[in-house]
Amino acid sequence: MLKSRKLKSLKAMDIFHVKIIRCWVFIATALLTLASCTPNHRSGFSDGEVKTVGAMRDVMHKGELFGKISLDTIANKKHLYGIGPLAYLKGEVLIADGKSYVATVGADGVCTVKETFHVESPFFVYANVHTWNELALPDSVRTMQHLESYLDEAAHHESQPFAFTMKAVVESATFHIVNLPEGAEVHSPEDAHRNQKDFTVTNASVELVGFFSRKHQGVFTHHDSFVHIHVITADKTMMGHLEEMLLRKGSGKLFVPSKL
């Protein structure tokens, strides 16, 4: 009788242990499944993911000049980068590392730059980039066209749009600030650039903030380009939409998101 009770007790313990083991196997399997379903921080592009509001084509061809985004509503301003025009094409906006700069043309034709988020834009492209990689920039890359070709080749495997930034000394850089007359209507790119003011800086230290994409022509790049770039001088007194540049050889430091 005693032996029988011991056998029953041992069997009960074995069944209990088996249940515990099965329970742990179930928990471990569930955790592995959950981990496999959780988006990867890098592959999900949460760092450096490009966001757009509005479209260049709607401004240029449909005359949608009103603000479609208030920049002060962008919740995450940590390591924020972005570019676009002011609402009603009254100026240009550049955000670099969480600071927003707005360039307008004064009555005297002088460029005025102030730091503020309290503005609106009819189309805007932006991204929060926390970590950058520096690309070795050849001395042969000196113009906007050179830079676009270099980025296209360097990111040949990348299908997603991305931000980039550069610090350099320019022998010359030409940029514009849109300055549409009050009440003017826009039905074409020519209309949109009516009364814009062009500026040129020479032998100046500058920062470029740009966005590259092969799929966003008419959204945040022109139909014949993969890049949209704004430039600001190191002393923050001049800023606008970059048209042309000539880099001083060996001065350029180009950075792209680490996800590339």
pLDDT tens, position by position, 46-57: 589 999 999 999
Distance between alpha carbon 42 and the CA centroid of its chain, in Å?
15
253 within 8 A of 141, measured Cβ to Cβ: no
User: Which residues of the chain have a pLDDT value below 50?
Assistant: 1-8, 10, 13, 16, 18, 21, 23-45
Q: In the prediction, which pLDDT does 75 show?
A: 95
Tokens of 207: 């920062």
The CATH code for residues 51-257 is 3.30.1330.80
Q: Is 48 left (phi over 0), alpha (psi -120 to 50) or beta?
A: left
144 within 8 A of 245, measured Cβ to Cβ: yes
DSSP structure class, residue 229: E
DSSP structure class, residue 88: G
Element (H, E) at 92: strand 92-96
Tokens of 4: 């029988």
Q: In the prediction, which pLDDT does 252 show?
A: 93
Burial 150-188 (b: 16+ CB within 10 A, else e): bbeebbeebebbbbbbbebbbeebbbbbbbbeeeeebee
Q: What is the pLDDT of residues 109-135, one digit of tens each?
A: 999 999 999 999 999 999 999 999 999
